[in-house]
Amino acid sequence: MKYEIRGLSLNVKKSGSGEPALMFLNYWGGTSRTWNKVVAELKDRFTTVAYDARGWGQSDKSVAGYTLADLADEALSLIQTLGTGPLRIWRIKHVSKNACQLNHELRGPLA
């Protein structure tokens, strides 16, 4: 499904039900497909969300907006748009000190 987030159309795979919701984030260059097997195992117990960040997979490409702050803000905007309730984030650790700890875990504490 496509969601309009911060002026871009993002490809989002949301499935299952239950709390907390689980959001799966990719390494640089990865897509939501990275998480297909994990989601298949968890969707009967949890709401699962995996998406293609800007520039990857089926999401829009943009000329700018690829800083860690931009990507963290994009993920936070998606979380707010989905309104999933309690949420846990799962990510593949990769590159530069784990992407500066995912820009301080999406720029501050989450519910």
Q: What is the pLDDT of residue 87?
A: 82
Considering only the C-alpha atoms of the chain, give the largest distance between any 2 of them, rounded to a whole number of Å: 38
Sign of the torsion formed by the C-alpha atoms of 60, 26, 74 and 77: positive
Instruction: Specify the pTM.
Output: 0.78
Q: What is the pLDDT of residue 93?
A: 55
pLDDT tens string for the chain (111 positions)?
999 999 999 999 999 998 888 888 877 778 999 889 989 999 999 999 999 989 999 999 988 888 878 888 888 899 899 988 888 887 665 544 444 344 444 445 443
Q: What is the pLDDT of residue 88?
A: 82
Task: Please give the domain boundaries of the chain with CATH numbers for all domains.
Answer: 2-107 (3.40.50.1820)
